[in-house]
């Protein structure tokens, strides 16, 4: 199979990435108090693959929506993701010094500013959806906001992070593994594709299928994250590898081993293509297929 880097999709992906980066730069212009904004900028603007906003944007476009329909929510989603990384790296959580090849926010600034920069980003995100979305009915926006508030908290990310944290050193089990990964990672992925369909005005049936695609992709993404933690280097990864085993985390390799994890990943890729086959009568699926390939092939 042709690697994604050799396909025309690479160019399109980079274009989306640039648009999202420009948008994030614009909304994070330094204000008072300066240390807060500098810490926020460090946590958001220093690299990052931007896979969640790209997914949201691509899903919106593939369903007949526009860039302007997607951008506010795509930016909000990335702010929430970046806040979750800043807090995930704190000494009281994963205690990481390196993120995206740079010192983590609490290392570059201080722990208090890392907590507060995260708080500010998550709060700011919701206003951004309201202020920066164009051409979407208010009723749809309210549903998007409500869904994101749950995915980012008690029906998703925070639940997953709590399970991840409290189960460190616990006996690995499949049930716990899926609960953690569905929460901490797949909930925001599910939101990204669900929201892409919603913002484009798609039917509920298609939007729900898109949500399934996002959730499966999120699990696949976290399987790769767990594998890279075992197999990669800090130069390639931009994070310190080997942390999961050192901290006794419940990961795919901990439950299935390396080869077993790769097998589960392959099963997810097959399922993802199946979901896209079901979506194909309703929308153009090629770019979402490229994004599956991106997740499977990523090295950082």
Using CB under 6 A, list all residues that contact ligand IPE.
48-49, 51, 84-85, 88, 94, 96, 100, 157, 161, 184-185, 222, 225, 239
Question: Among 78, 88, 147, 296, which residue sits at the site for Mg ion (rule: CB under 5 A)?
Answer: 88
Task: Spell out, one character per residue from 229 to 268, where the chain touches Mg ion: x when CB under 5 A holds, - when not.
Answer: x---------------------------------------
- Residue 185 touches which member of ligand IPE, Mg ion, none, C-beta under 5-8 Å by kind: ligand IPE
Q: Please state at what angle helix 252-279 crosses helix 204-231, rounded to 10 degrees.
A: 150
Ordered DSSP codes for 19-80: HHHHHHHHHT---SSHHHHHHHHHHHHS----HHHHHHHHHHHHTT--HHHHHHHHHHHHHH
CB of 151 to ligand IPE, least distance (A): 11
- Residue 116 touches which member of Mg ion, ligand IPE, none, C-beta under 5-8 Å by kind: none
Cβ proximity to ligand IPE: between 217 and 288 the closer is 217
Kindly calculate the radius of gyration of the chain based on its CA atoms and give it in whole angstroms: 18
Cβ proximity to Mg ion: between 88 and 296 the closer is 88
- Give the ranges where 89-110 is alpha helix by DSSP (H): 105-108
- Those residues whose C-beta lies under 8 Å from the C-beta of residue 146, and which sit 6 or more positions away, are none
* Residues shown for the chain: 300
CB of 129 to ligand IPE, least distance (A): 19
Instruction: Cite the beta strand spans of the chain per DSSP E.
Output: 98-99, 102-103
**Residue with smallest beta-carbon separation from Mg ion:** 94
DSSP symbol at 185: I
Question: Among 225, 240, 256, 261, which residue sits at the site for Mg ion (rule: CB under 5 A)?
Answer: 225
Cβ proximity to ligand IPE: between 245 and 280 the closer is 245
Cβ proximity to ligand IPE: between 212 and 247 the closer is 247
- Those residues whose C-beta lies under 8 Å from the C-beta of residue 29, and which sit 6 or more positions away, are 37
Which positions lie near Mg ion, rule CB under 5 A?
A: 88, 94, 225, 229
């Amino acid at each position: 199979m042709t690697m994604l880097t050799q396909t025309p999709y690479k160019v399109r992906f980079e274009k989306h990435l640039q648009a999202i980066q420009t948008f994030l730069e614009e909304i994070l212009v330094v204000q008072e108090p300066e240390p807060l904004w500098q810490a926020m900028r460090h946590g958001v603007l220093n690299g990052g693959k931007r896979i969640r906003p790209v997914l949201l944007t691509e899903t919106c476009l593939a369903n007949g929506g526009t860039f302007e329909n997607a951008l506010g929510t795509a930016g909000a989603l990335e702010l929430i993701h970046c806040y979750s990384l800043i807090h995930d790296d704190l000494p009281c959580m994963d205690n990481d010094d390196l993120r995206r090849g740079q010192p983590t926010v609490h290392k570059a600034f201080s722990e208090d500013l890392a907590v507060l920069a995260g708080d500010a980003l998550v709060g700011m995100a919701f206003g951004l959806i309201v202020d920066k979305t164009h051409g979407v009915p208010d009723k749809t926006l309210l549903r998007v906001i409500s869904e994101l508030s749950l995915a980012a908290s008690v029906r998703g990310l925070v639940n997953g992070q709590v399970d991840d944290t409290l189960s460190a050193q616990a006996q690995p089990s499949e049930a716990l593994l899926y609960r953690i990964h569905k929460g901490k990672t797949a909930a925001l992925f599910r939101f990204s594709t669900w929201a892409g369909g919603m913002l484009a005005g798609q039917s509920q049936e298609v939007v729900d299928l898109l949500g399934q695609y996002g959730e499966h992709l999120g699990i696949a993404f976290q399987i790769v994250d767990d594998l890279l933690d075992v197999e990669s280097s800090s130069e390639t990864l931009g994070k310190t590898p080997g942390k999961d085993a050192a901290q006794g985390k419940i990961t795919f390799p901990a439950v299935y081993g390396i080869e077993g994890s790769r097998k589960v990943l392959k099963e997810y890729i097959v399922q993802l293509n199946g979901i896209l086959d079901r979506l194909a009568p309703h929308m153009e699926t090629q770019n979402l297929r490229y994004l599956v390939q991106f997740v499977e092939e990523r090295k950082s």
